[in-house]
Amino acid sequence: MSQLDPVIHAPNRLRICAMLVTSAELDFKLIKLQLDVSDSVLSKQLKALEEVGYIETKKRNQNGRPRTWISLTDKGQSAFESHVTALQNIINIS
């Protein structure tokens, strides 16, 4: 039986993973706008995901401006899918 992942379980981190699982990569600014959080809050959430290897961040220039791009790693995708399965199991038991 799948277990809830304490890193992903936090609401903002769960939403970040849900956004990233459907995209190759997303821009920091877009994620920030979708979550409606400050730069510092998003940075803290991304750091927690990056420390366990669930996401990768890359800095690239776009139109002469530095941008941060975030993508879900294979490990992160697997962890997210397991977490979602665990949530579904909880719902189905109730």
pLDDT digits (tens, 9 = 90+) for 4-31: 999 999 999 999 999 999 999 999 999 9
Asked whether residue 16 is domain-assigned, the answer is yes
Asked whether residue 27 is domain-assigned, the answer is yes
Asked whether residue 77 is domain-assigned, the answer is yes
Asked whether residue 54 is domain-assigned, the answer is yes
Asked whether residue 68 is domain-assigned, the answer is yes
Q: Which domain holds residue 35?
A: 6-93
Asked whether residue 1 is domain-assigned, the answer is no
Please tell me the total count of domains within the chain: 1
Residue 74, pLDDT > 60, answer: yes
Asked whether residue 56 is domain-assigned, the answer is yes
CATH number of the domain that 16 lies in? 1.10.10.10
Partner residues linked to 65 by β-bridges: 62
In this prediction, residue 22 carries a pLDDT of 94
The answer to whether residues 7 and 52 touch, using CB atoms and an 8 Å cutoff, is yes
**How does residue 94 score in pLDDT terms, banded at 50, 70 and 90?**
low
Measured in Å, how far apart are the chain's first and last C-alpha atoms? 16
Instruction: Return the structure tokens found at 87.
Output: 């949530």
